[in-house]
């Protein structure tokens, strides 16, 4: 589904990605783990189109999207939940969700069905649908950010640090929601510093270090890898 082939990217003269290659197959949860500054977010932004690529290419379902605008990638079926959630605080919860469907060409009835589906997935959003989004807790805002992305009916969902700043019980809820999405046919590419939790739900994973892929394997294989355990799992 997604193929990243020798991608290079950076900020000014500083190259952050040094020829990164990886694959995300349809129906998978694939996790990318690494330390601060390793290039995780830069890679995700390169896939979604908001970070320019200086070398290599990004392929999605056989189409070269390397130079494609972000909104065209959304139309193809790629949606990103950015780090820090980035919801529209003054708007209501429901208006935030509706914004996620702005590139869709289906009518109001289909948008209403999608809202019902998101509200069933995250009931607290239904309860607070008329409230300003800025009044939600951190975990609820993360649910809203995921729900907003799902309103675009993506086939590939990019998640950047969804557990950041959340209590453990909320982390479990978010991770379970990600697993449920896979069962609904959504492919997930997950960037996460909580390596153990992310690899525990992943079909496959990659470890990125200073802009290059250092290791890859199944989630279980990476959890069992002594170097990964020492560097990222704290054991």
Domain boundaries, the chain: 2-89+154-232
**pLDDT given for residue 105 in this prediction:** 66
- Three-state DSSP class for 100? coil
Evaluate whether 30 touches 205 at the Cβ level (below 8 Å).
Answer: yes
pTM for this structure?
Answer: 0.88
- The encoded tokens of residue 215 equal 């290791």
Distance CA 40, CA 36 (A): 8
Write the CB contacts of 42 (distance below 8 Å, at least 6 apart in sequence).
Answer: 9, 10, 16, 17, 51, 211
DSSP assignment of 33-87: E--TTSSHHHHHHHHHTSS--SEEEEEETTEE-TT--HHHHHHHTEEEE-TT---
Kindly list the distances between the CA atom of residue 226 and the CA atoms of 124, 206, 208, in Å, as whole numbers in the listed order.
40, 15, 16
Distance CA 103, CA 71 (A): 8
First-to-last alpha carbon distance for the chain, in angstroms, is 34
**pLDDT given for residue 170 in this prediction:** 83
Averaged in consecutive runs of 10 residues, what is the pLDDT profile of the chain (235 residues)?
A: 96 94 96 91 94 96 95 91 82 91 74 88 91 89 90 91 83 88 91 89 95 95 92 74
The per-residue pLDDT for range 118-142, each reduced to its tens digit, is: 998 889 999 999 999 999 988 889 8
Containing H/E element for 6? strand 2-11
- In the sheet that holds 2-11, the strands lie side by side as 14-24, 2-11, 55-60, 63-64
| In this structure, CATH architecture of domain 2-89+154-232 | 3-Layer(aba) Sandwich (3.40)
Distance CA 69, CA 218 (A): 32
């Amino acid at each position: 589904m997604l193929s990243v082939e020798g991608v290079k990217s950076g900020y000014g003269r500083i190259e952050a990605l040094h020829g990164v290659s990886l694959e995300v197959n349809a129906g998978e949860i694939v996790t990318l783990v690494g330390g601060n500054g390793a290039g995780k977010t830069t890679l995700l932004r390169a896939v979604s189109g908001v970070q320019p690529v200086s070398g290599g290419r990004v392929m999605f379902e056989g189409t070269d999207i390397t130079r494609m605008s972000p909104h065209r990638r959304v139309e193809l079926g790629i949606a990103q939940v950015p780090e820090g959630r980035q919801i529209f605080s003054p708007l209501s919860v429901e208006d935030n969700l509706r914004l996620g469907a702005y590139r869709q060409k289906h009518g109001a009835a289909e948008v209403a069905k999608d809202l019902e589906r998101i509200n069933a997935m995250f009931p607290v959003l239904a309860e607070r649908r008329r409230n300003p989004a800025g009044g939600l807790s951190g975990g609820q805002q993360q649910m809203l950010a995921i729900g907003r992305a799902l309103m675009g009916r993506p086939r590939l969902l990019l998640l950047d640090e969804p557990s950041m700043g959340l209590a453990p019980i909320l982390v479990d809820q978010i991770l379970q929601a990600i697993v449920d999405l896979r069962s609904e046919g959504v492919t997930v590419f997950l960037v996460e510093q909580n390596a153990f939790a992310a690899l525990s739900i992943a079909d496959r994973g990659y470890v990125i270090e200073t802009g290059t892929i250092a290791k890859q394997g199944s989630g279980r294989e990476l959890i069992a890898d002594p170097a990964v355990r020492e560097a990222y799992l704290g054991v």
